[in-house]
C-alpha cells in the first residue's frame, strides 16, 4: 500500500532544506536573477553542508539514483526512502529558488544519471564530481533517440564528435554526462552515456545562453571535436543489445523526472503562499468550509489553483515512493512530470493575475516565479512528450505505433 504521508524520519531534512531556502536562497534570489551568468558564491558553504548530509546517509536535496539492483538477493524491499527524501528536500529548496538549486555544486542532473546507472567503481570515481547532463542537440529536440553525436571506440578510448545544446550547468560543472551513439545504423539501442570531464582535449564550451527564467543557472552549448574519453567512463554496458533497446540510458529519466516535478511543486507552493498573503492583505478570505462558488471570485480561483497543486504533489510523491520500493515507475514519473510541469505554469501565471499590479512588478517574486516556471514544463522531456509516453504505456503501444 502506498503511504504518501511525510515520514517522521524526513522531518529533520525537510526543516533543514526549508531553512536553507529561506535563509540562503530567498535573500539572493532577485540578485542573481538580475546578474545572469554570475556564479552565486553563497552556495559553496551550503553545498559543503549537503555533501556532509549525503555522506552521512541522511540524504539531501540533491541528486539521488534509482538503482534497481540494490538489495539483490535479499528480496528487495524498501530502500530507506532515499528517493522520497530527495524529492521532499527538492520541494523545499525550490520553494526558495529553482535556479539556485540548479546552480548547487555536485547536485546536477548528471549526478542523478551517475547515481542511477554507474557501477561501483564509477560511483567511487565520480561520487564527488559536479556533473551536468548533455542530451539535446540542434537537430533533435524532444526525440532523445534521434541524437547524432557519435562515440567511436579507438583502443582504450572512445572518440566523441558532436554538439549539445541547453546543457544546464554546462559551463560550471566539473563533468558532463553525454549521450552519444556507438552505431547510428542500429538506432536507439546503440545510444550510451559517457562521463566527460572538463579539460578533456576536444571538449569546448561554445557559449552560455541568455534565458527567460532560471537566470542564476548557466545553460551552455557544448562541442565535442575528436574528444577522447577513457572507455571506463562509459556508464552501463558497452554492448549494443537491440532487445533491451533504449532502456539502459532511459532509466535515468525515471529518477530525474520526479526531481523536476518536485522542483515544480516547490515553486508552485511558493507562489500560492505569496498569493494567499496578498489576498489576505486585500481583505479576501479563502474559506475551506464553504463551496468555491459561494466565495469571492479571487478566493474561488485560488482554491482551483490549490487543488491543481495538490494533484501534482501527490503524483510526485507516488513516483518517488515507487522507486524506493523497487516498483517500475516510468509511467508515474512521466505522469508526475507532465502534471507538475503544466500545473506550475498555470499556477504561477494565475497567481500573477490574482495579485494584479503587484504580481507584474519586481515588488514581489511572483513575476520572477512565473518566468522560472516555464522551463519546468520543458526540460527532462516536454509536456507533449510526457503525454505521449503516458499514452503509450496506458494503451500498450510502441513508439513506432504511436508517434
Residues marked active site are found at: 380
Residues 98 and 343: their CA atoms lie apart, in Å, by 16
108: DSSP letter:
S
What residues have CB less than 8 Å from 212, skipping those under 6 apart?
Answer: 371, 374, 375
Bridging pattern class, strands 131-134 and 175-181: parallel
- For the record, the C-alpha cell of 297 comes out as 471570485
Report the SS3 class of residue 250.
helix
In this structure, is the dihedral angle defined by the CA atoms of residues 111, 54, 375 and 390, taken in order, positive or negative?
Answer: positive
Residues 279 and 283: their CA atoms lie apart, in Å, by 6
Element (H, E) at 90: helix 82-96
Please give the C-alpha separations between residue 109 and each of 4, 11, 115, 236, 394, in angstroms, as whole numbers. Answer: 25, 25, 10, 17, 27
Sort residue 59 into left (φ over 0), alpha (ψ -120 to 50) or beta.
left
Q: Which residues pair with 181 in a beta bridge?
A: 150, 191
Where helices occur in 242-382 by DSSP H, the ranges are: 247-281, 297-324, 330-355, 357-360, 366-373
Element (H, E) at 16: helix 11-20
State phi, psi for 133 to the nearest 5 degrees.
-125, 125
Cβ-contact 162, 152 below 8 angstroms: no
Q: What share of the chain is helix, strand, coil (3-state, %, to 5)?
A: 50, 15, 35
Cβ-contact 261, 94 below 8 angstroms: no
Q: Which residues pair with 140 in a beta bridge?
A: 137
- For the record, the C-alpha cell of 32 comes out as 542573481
Amino acid at each position: 500500500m502506498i503511504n504518501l504521508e511525510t515520514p517522521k524520519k524526513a522531518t529533520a531534512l525537510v526543516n533543514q532544506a526549508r531553512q536553507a531556502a529561506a535563509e540562503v536562497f530567498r535573500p539572493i534570489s532577485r540578485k542573481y536573477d538580475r546578474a545572469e551568468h554570475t556564479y552565486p558564491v553563497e552556495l559553496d558553504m551550503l553545498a559543503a553542508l549537503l555533501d556532509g548530509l549525503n555522506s552521512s546517509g541522511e540524504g539531501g536535496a540533491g541528486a539521488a539514483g534509482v538503482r534497481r539492483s540494490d538489495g539483490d538477493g535479499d528480496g528487495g524491499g524498501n530502500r530507506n526512502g532515499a528517493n522520497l527524501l530527495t524529492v521532499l528536500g527538492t520541494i523545499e529548496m525550490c520553494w526558495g529558488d529553482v535556479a539556485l538549486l540548479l546552480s548547487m555544486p555536485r547536485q546536477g542532473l548528471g549526478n542523478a544519471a551517475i547515481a542511477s546507472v554507474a557501477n561501483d567503481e564509477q560511483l567511487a570515481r565520480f561520487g564527488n564530481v559536479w556533473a551536468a547532463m548533455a542530451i539535446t542537440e540542434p537537430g533533435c529536440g524532444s526525440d532523445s533517440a534521434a541524437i547524432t553525436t557519435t562515440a567511436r571506440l579507438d583502443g582504450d578510448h572512445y572518440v566523441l564528435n558532436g554538439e549539445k545544446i541547453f546543457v544546464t550547468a554546462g559551463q560550471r560543472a566539473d563533468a558532463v554526462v553525454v549521450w552519444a551513439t556507438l552505431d547510428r545504423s542500429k538506432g536507439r539501442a546503440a545510444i550510451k552515456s559517457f562521463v566527460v570531464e572538463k579539460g578533456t582535449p576536444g571538449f569546448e564550451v561554445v557559449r552560455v545562453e541568455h534565458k527567460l527564467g532560471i537566470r542564476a543557472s548557466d545553460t551552455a552549448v557544448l562541442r565535442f571535436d575528436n574528444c577522447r574519453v577513457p572507455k571506463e567512463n562509459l556508464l552501463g554496458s558497452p554492448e549494443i543489445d537491440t532487445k533491451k533497446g533504449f532502456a539502459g540510458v532511459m532509466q535515468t529519466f525515471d529518477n530525474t523526472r520526479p526531481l523536476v516535478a518536485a522542483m515544480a511543486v516547490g515553486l508552485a507552493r511558493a507562489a500560492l503562499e505569496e498569493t494567499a498573503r496578498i489576498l489576505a492583505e486585500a481583505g479576501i478570505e479563502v474559506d475551506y468550509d464553504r463551496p468555491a462558488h459561494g466565495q469571492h471570485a479571487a478566493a474561488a480561483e485560488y482554491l482551483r489553483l490549490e487543488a491543481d497543486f495538490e494533484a501534482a504533489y501527490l503524483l510526485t510523491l507516488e513516483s518517488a515512493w515507487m522507486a524506493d520500493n523497487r516498483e517500475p515507475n516510468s509511467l508515474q514519473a512521466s505522469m508526475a512530470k507532465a502534471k507538475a510541469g503544466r500545473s506550475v505554469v498555470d499556477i504561477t501565471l494565475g497567481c500573477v493575475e490574482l495579485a494584479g499590479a503587484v504580481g507584474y512588478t519586481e515588488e514581489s517574486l511572483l513575476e520572477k516565479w512565473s518566468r522560472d516556471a516555464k522551463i519546468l514544463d520543458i526540460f527532462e522531456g516536454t509536456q507533449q512528450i510526457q503525454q505521449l509516453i503516458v499514452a503509450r504505456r496506458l494503451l500498450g503501444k510502441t513508439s513506432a505505433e504511436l508517434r
